Structure 1
Amino acid sequence: MTDVSHPTLDPPILPPDGEETGPAISPLRPGDDPSEIAVASQWTLIRHKFFRNKVAVAAGIVVLFFYFVALFVEFLAPTNPAAAQPRFTYAPPQSLAFFVEGEDGREWLPHVKGYAMEVDPESLRRTFTVDEESVIPIGFFVEGTPYELWGLFPMNTHLIGPLDPTKPMNLLGTDSLGRDLLSRLIYGARISMSIGLIGVVSSLVIGTVLGALSGYYGGWVDLAVQRLIEIVSAMPTIPLWLGLAAAIPITWSPLKVYFVITLIVSLLAWTSLAREVRGRFFALKNEDFVTAAILDGSRRRRVIFRHILPSLTSHILAVVTLAIPTMIVAETALSFLGIGLKPPVVSWGVLLQDAQNIRTVATAPWLLIWPSLAVVVAVLSFNFLGDGMRDAADPYET
């Protein structure tokens, strides 16, 4: 009878006496319950990686500031954006100061300098300069032009304004009708920022649904969706915008025009998202968790929208963030060309359209600088935020 014994195992190699070993691979200590060990979720890893990107965090703060301004425009604007001041057309910006020279030294007094008017004897054109001797006290949370916050709550309190309502306060200057540019810029933030958000939501629904159906079913469904994407992508964007926007009746209210412009912009922005969702569905539909869901009796609709699509949430969120600035630029371009939103609606594109003549560039450059700066800062902030979210969407990539 053959004696079968277990093979002899080599003894473990121990470090020399006095030499420190590396950290243990397992975080468990004697007596620990493995079920109580905390494991970071996918969203926790994404959040931690995003907050390590300081540029993306700063851009996110700027974006939140813009939407805060858009939400409380009535309170933040010093006056009604349509209120004209015929005596102060093309008035230059007034500088905000907080101290004045008094008998006892520097005294706290928030104020702006008044205007001095000069008339050109040849052209009889009025020009305004800042009068350093004239002091107009201003205050915070002052009573001013009545308004309805969000169209619901009657109020007349403004964040900042002159203590004497008859005195001018135009921190960013005025336009050809003497309207305060700061108030118009603040009101324009609501339209320009919301049209990007609404347009992205519309394109998100279209692109996600069509991309998911195309990637999951394949076959003739994929063929039809891809041909539709190619047709829409082949259309020249600006001429198509021109044609669709020109078809809007001039008798429509500004609210109807606003939603139609949003629809036009969103109908041309869903193709890239649909292609990306389709590619991810092709990669995921044969994974084990999808097969397990099908074998468990889940319907196709449940597999698409409850199993595969949630795994793309972080990626879709990053794509949407990068798509919002495209919507803002599209609305600005349409309004600048005169085929988008029109007065009395106030948007950044409308402000740029008002400032496109040569006289404005020569005599009142602030009408062009401030709306352009608002568009540039908003678009760059969204781009930096989108880049940070796209990198954080894959927390395992270093």
Structure 2
Amino acid sequence: MVDQMNPAALEAPPTPRQMRKARAQLKFLDGTASQSQLIRRRYKSNPMAMFGLYLLCLIYFTAIFAGFLAPHSASSTSADHAYQPPQAVHFTLEDGFFIHPTESSTDIETLQRVFVEDPDVKIPLTFFATGDEYQLLGFIPADVHFFGTVDPDQRLYLLGADRAGADLLSLILYGGQISLSLGLIGVAVSLVLGIVIGGISGYFGGLTDTIIQRVIEFIMSIPTLPLWLGLAAAIPPRWGITETYFAITMILSLLGWTGMARVIRGRVLQSRGEDYILAAKLDGASHGRIILRHMMPSFVSHIIASMSLAVPAMILAETSLSFLGLGLRAPAISWGVLLQDSQNLQVVANAPWLLMPALAVVLTVIAFNFVGDGLRDAADPYGK
């Protein structure tokens, strides 16, 4: 009877998730939490960093499943819809979502193509529509798209069309596969070079450190853009998409490892005099084991933060080279290749939707910068 009168006795027992959260809170307060737990907690307390992480996950999700999310395939074109402006989606309770077909004509005074909607005809839209065939994840044949027209022969241009009549939204989704993967691969190669060369420079010091640092300073003193242009122009035009892709990746990687190498060198110089490093040497550990197994874990969080800030630089570099016509070339699809049509100011004035790939680049770079800043602040041992 007493327990029934006690309000605390009527409360539900804590859930397993609440118990785990309480234990993590106790570890954080009494100082027994691990470094990864502290970094994770600091990172989650940063709203901009979490926003960047969610946005980045969304961007990579759309790139991985581009074939499913895109209304059309990357090679689907229609000459009758060249420079088609974005179509408006309409909705009624009776018909649901639909669009009106457009008819093109030439303006006699301006000699420009004008698209006029036919309000008497409705093209229904549906989810999980059957359309162009594609390879899901690169090896699974499929023809179902997340959304599209009920009639597969009808075209859908939510973001307009390019000069070939290809759907710009589909091209942006497919272009993200190359632009985003190139940034990750380029940073991965730069990371390997930075760890090896920077670790050797900081660990051995002396003449080895002097020679490596002079080489790094020489590479960093060369103007970046002219060097990129010169190396990219040396790529034979007859090379295919795959060869050009890997060539551009190697060019960006071979020129982007210097900053990473200097960061790692400074960290190795800072930690090589610690007692645990001396103990590892006296125990007979090899130089490679000391660098990789004893030194690297102490500043791996800073390396991750540096990598997250280096990826957008790689993406911008590829976009710049492809925009100038010295990187990837059509029929390859990347955000830089899609922006090549924007070089003509007259075309941009008449079809401003061709600048939409630049918005994808901006959102990706902002997301990476938010994530990188959040990781850097969370990994700072002197941060609050």
TM-score computed with the length of structure 2 as normaliser: 0.89
CA contact (8 A) 1:215 1:281 kept: yes
CA contact (8 A) 1:92 1:130 kept: no
| Whole-angstrom CA distance in 1 between matches of 2:185 and 2:242 | 14
Match of 2:79 among 86, 89, 104: 86
Is 1:189 aligned to residue 182 of structure 2? no
- Aligned partner of 1:393 in structure 2 is 379
Q: What is the 5 A alignment of 1:104-143?
A: 106-107=93-94, 109-122=96-109, 124-143=111-130
Is 1:61 aligned to residue 47 of structure 2? no
| Whole-angstrom CA distance in 1 between matches of 2:276 and 2:114 | 72
Is 1:162 aligned to residue 149 of structure 2? yes
| Whole-angstrom CA distance in 2 between matches of 1:335 and 1:72 | 23
| SS in structure 1 of the partner of residue 314 of structure 2 | helix
CA contact (8 A) 2:95 2:124 kept: no
Is 1:50 aligned to residue 36 of structure 2? no
Q: CA deviation at 1:305?
A: 0.9
* CA displacement, residues 115-168 of structure 1 (integer Å, 9 cap, x when unaligned): 243431245542113444442111111111112223321111111110012222
Match of 1:257 among 231, 240, 244: 244
- Aligned partner of 2:279 in structure 1 is 292
- Aligned partner of 1:153 in structure 2 is 140
Larger Rg belongs to: 1
- Aligned partner of 1:75 in structure 2 is 68
Q: What is the 5 A alignment of 1:322-361?
A: 322-361=309-348
* CA displacement, residues 168-213 of structure 1 (integer Å, 9 cap, x when unaligned): 2100000111111011010001011011000000101111111111
Give the AA of the match of 1:387: D
Q: CA deviation at 1:88?
A: 1.1
- Aligned partner of 2:163 in structure 1 is 176
- Aligned partner of 2:195 in structure 1 is 208
* CA displacement, residues 274-323 of structure 1 (integer Å, 9 cap, x when unaligned): 11111111111111211221222222221111100111110000000000
Unaligned runs of 5+ in 2: 1-29
- Aligned partner of 1:373 in structure 2 is 359
| Whole-angstrom CA distance in 2 between matches of 1:229 and 1:129 | 59
| Whole-angstrom CA distance in 1 between matches of 2:272 and 2:147 | 57
Give the AA of the match of 1:39: T
| Whole-angstrom CA distance in 2 between matches of 1:396 and 1:239 | 40
CA contact (8 A) 1:84 1:178 kept: yes
| Whole-angstrom CA distance in 1 between matches of 2:187 and 2:119 | 48
Runs of 4+ in 1 over 6 A off after TM superposition: none
Give the AA of the match of 1:68: F
Give the AA of the match of 2:54: I
Give the AA of the match of 1:367: L
Bigger drift between 147-156 and 380-389 goes to: 147-156
| Whole-angstrom CA distance in 1 between matches of 2:271 and 2:118 | 69
| Whole-angstrom CA distance in 1 between matches of 2:50 and 2:341 | 34
Of all paired residues, the percent bearing the same amino acid is 49
Give the AA of the match of 2:147: I
| SS in structure 1 of the partner of residue 374 of structure 2 | helix
Cα pair distance change 1:256/1:294, threshold 3 Å: same
Aligned residues: 355
- Aligned partner of 1:39 in structure 2 is 32
Q: C-alpha root-mean-square deviation of aligned residues, in Å?
A: 1.6
| Whole-angstrom CA distance in 2 between matches of 1:151 and 1:52 | 37
| SS in structure 2 of the partner of residue 270 of structure 1 | helix
Q: CA deviation at 1:358?
A: 2.1
| Whole-angstrom CA distance in 2 between matches of 1:60 and 1:172 | 25
| SS in structure 1 of the partner of residue 61 of structure 2 | helix
- Aligned partner of 2:10 in structure 1 is none
Give the AA of the match of 1:378: T
* CA displacement, residues 55-105 of structure 1 (integer Å, 9 cap, x when unaligned): 0001011111111111111111111222211111111101234x31xxxxx
- Aligned partner of 2:265 in structure 1 is 278
CA contact (8 A) 1:45 1:395 kept: no
Bigger drift between 308-317 and 113-122 goes to: 113-122
Unaligned runs of 5+ in 1: 1-36, 101-105
CA contact (8 A) 2:80 2:104 kept: no
Give the AA of the match of 2:298: S
CA contact (8 A) 1:321 1:382 kept: yes
| SS in structure 1 of the partner of residue 163 of structure 2 | coil
- Aligned partner of 1:24 in structure 2 is none
| Whole-angstrom CA distance in 2 between matches of 1:388 and 1:108 | 46
| Whole-angstrom CA distance in 2 between matches of 1:171 and 1:263 | 36
Match of 1:267 among 231, 250, 254: 254
